[in-house]
Chains A and B, each alone.
Chain A
Amino acid sequence: MSNQEVKDYLEKAYTPGFITDIESEAFLPGLSEDVVRAISAKKNEPDFLLKFRLQAYRHWLTMQEPTWAYVKYPKVNFNDIIYYSAPKKKVGPKNLSEVDPELLRTYEKLGIPLREQEMLAGVAVDAVFDSVSVATTFKEKLADAGVIFGSFSEAVQNHPELIERYLGTVVSYTDNFYAALNSAVFSDGSFCFIPKGVRCPMELSTYFRINAAKTGQFERTLIVAEESSYVSYLEGCTAPMRDENQLHAAVVELVALDNAQIKYSTVQNWYPGDKNGKGGIYNFVTKRGDCRGHRSKISWTQIETGSAITWKYPSVILRGDHSVGEFYSVALTNNYQQADTGTKMIHIGKNTSSTIVSKGISAGHGQNCYRGLVKVLKSAENAKNYTQCDSLLLGSECAAHTFPYIEVKNNTAEVGHEAATSKISDEQLFYCLQRGIDQEDAINMIVNGFCKQVFKELPMEFAVEAQKLMAVSLEGAVG
């Protein structure tokens, strides 16, 4: 395929979704200790949380924005940001016929059920009470099992002892610039607690998607899986997400006690900016799981197709003996998108093992970078790691970079790294075309084949959607 053909294919117009007008009660832009106190007061938070926020804020003031990532963007002015805004009332379309048909076309392509389309498109809530009642049913079912699941703010009010016990124990507010900022001003997020011996009765994905309201700019998520429990959690949505906030700095903390297992899947499809690289979300996220207990397991699976800049390293601290960490990632950058993403696997316990499979796809002028750290401490007898990171290039103006760091302090460790970069070959494309498959379908097929190892880690229903998402993202019509 000639470069011109690739270019034409990738440059199909981006169709943005619509933005709902939100009448909100908001603070003036800017950040100060008073703003931090005001946020905490608005949310009626207990003292320990205010203290946490203030410590974080004071620490943040001493920090510099990191510059080591392989991304370029204009400096963010943190005093231009509004740090608190409570949505009062949504003025959305009354039904789907009032929704931008292009957006609906994208939903259609992704195969999203009608009910969920209404939710995603922001159709006024009273028009979709069916979905709400579905959500209520879920909530009852979870409560029966003893699972606590809801917004972070709710949990602060109802289970402050759990929040106090676990918040900031995986990602300390001193961890990095954005984590400190998040700790000071986080708006809301999710809290999930699976008690001892409970296998969460449903994929929290199903629940989450229907309830996925506005996530906010500084999201905070905490998941605690007690001994011998299991939970599968899906964050995000394949459907396009539009947000007026340019900077997103979320923190996600996972805690797995003895024999517990947490499977955390992310599909991130935020506005990537237009084809000239204008606009788009900056997604600076800190995600970390702590395999605190023996034989615990934490798996991260992420499909990253959105955002102008992605800066994200979901990591696992393998503290418990025999604990297992996994990271499966597909990151796609098209047009002028930039992604610097990867993982950290910190082996502390004995017989710990980790697996990293990273698939980067670059198209247009996209920059895709894998950055990974495998660290085996002296205490980690018989640690094992396997890393595979592959890059696929479409066209000649994009690039892929790989920065694997390996630090081994125990000579019983087995660490393996494989890396490959390939272009969609003319041979493969010609073979598909010669079987009558058109160019667009052929590219999608080859790309999906490249991602298969990761897709199969996703919850079933999302694996199918993820495939379609790749097609839509490559088309440039994310909407």
Chain B
Amino acid sequence: MLNIENLYASVDGKQILKGLNLTINPGEVHAIMGPNGAGKSTLANVLAGRAGYEVTSGNIFYKNKSLLDMSVDLRAREGLFLAFQYPVEIPGVSNISFLKAAMNAKRRHREQTEMDAMDFLAAIKSKAKQMQMNEEMLYRAVNEGFSGGEKKRNEVLQMLMLEPCMSILDETDSGLDIDALQVVAQGVNALRANNRSFLVITHYQRLLNYIVPDFVHVLADGKIIKSGDKQLAIELEESGYVGVGG
């Protein structure tokens, strides 16, 4: 699904990623943990193609195509989804019409017809229920006046609707209480399938109790210094990043 080869990337001329290698196969859930400033969010932004994140060397292959040759919106239409750490507010644009535009952009890309309005409404209502979101939130402007937890649920709602092949969750657990965390995790787990992959970026092992990863990687100073299974996350929680040589 995703192949990152010897990736170097910089922000404002400062080298952040320094030779990162990672392979994610279809159906796998990978977790990336690491101290502040290790480059976790940079990795997420580079994958999504955000302006200002410059790849200085290395390659990224997504579904066997060069990801770096694709525009931001094309990556998204090809099924790469980023759940934002800080979702953006768009005043005056209702949540539901935003999602509909996103859905239809993706469908047009696949040469499918636009989704029937009634089918769309039924789908979004059931997914909102799954995320324990009040229906009224669908008609509010995108993220406007949402609490931190509501924003994160809204990200996962979008993910459930768009059914991406490769989902990147950038610290989706930050600022969530335990109930919200479980709802978010359930949303992610509902989407797990052998043709979909996930990259879960987190500070805390806590989230991984609910989204159980196949692999855990420790990112420090721009590269992966250790990989293991779920057990590694538990060790990190006990001994800290220093304990694993970070």
Contacts and interface: CB of A to CB of B under 8 A. Distances in A.
Contacts of B139: none
B101 A437 contact: yes
Contact of A437 (B51, B73, B91): B73
B84 A451 contact: no
Interface residues of A, dominant DSSP: helix
B88 A428 contact: yes
A426 interface: yes
Contacts of B82: 434
A325 B73 CA distance: 44
Contacts of B93: 445-446, 448-449, 452
B141 A430 contact: no
B101 A445 contact: yes
Contacts of B76: 433-436
A431 interface: yes
A450 B144 CA distance: 13
A453 B92 contact: yes
B101 A430 contact: no
Contacts of A431: 84, 87-88, 90
Interface of A: 1-2, 425-428, 430-439, 441, 445-446, 448-453
A388 to B, nearest CB: 12
Contacts of A445: 90, 93, 98, 101
A449 B73 contact: no
A435 B72 CA distance: 9
Interface of B: 48, 50-51, 71-73, 75-77, 81-82, 84, 87-93, 98-99, 101-102, 105-106, 109, 141, 158, 162
A244 B91 CA distance: 39
Nearest to A444: B101
Nearest to B48: A434
A1 B50 CA distance: 10
A22 B72 CA distance: 51
Given A450-B91, A451-B92, A436 B48 contact: no
Contact of B72 (A433, A441, A453): A433
Contact of A439 (B73, B98, B141): B73
B147 to A, nearest CB: 18
A427 B105 contact: no
A438 B90 contact: no
A441 B90 CA distance: 14
Nearest to A450: B92
A285 to B, nearest CB: 27
Given A431-B84, A446-B90, A450-B92, A436 B98 contact: no
Nearest to B83: A434
Contacts of B77: 436
A427 B88 contact: yes
Given A436-B106, A445-B101, A430 B72 contact: yes
The 8 closest A-B pairs by CB, nearest first: A449-B92, A452-B92, A449-B93, A436-B76, A435-B102, A433-B72, A436-B77, A431-B88
Contacts of B158: 435
Contacts of B75: 434
B101 A434 contact: no
Contacts of A439: 73
Residue with the greatest number of chain B CB neighbours at <10 A, chosen from A434, A439, A446, A448 = A434
B172 to A, nearest CB: 15
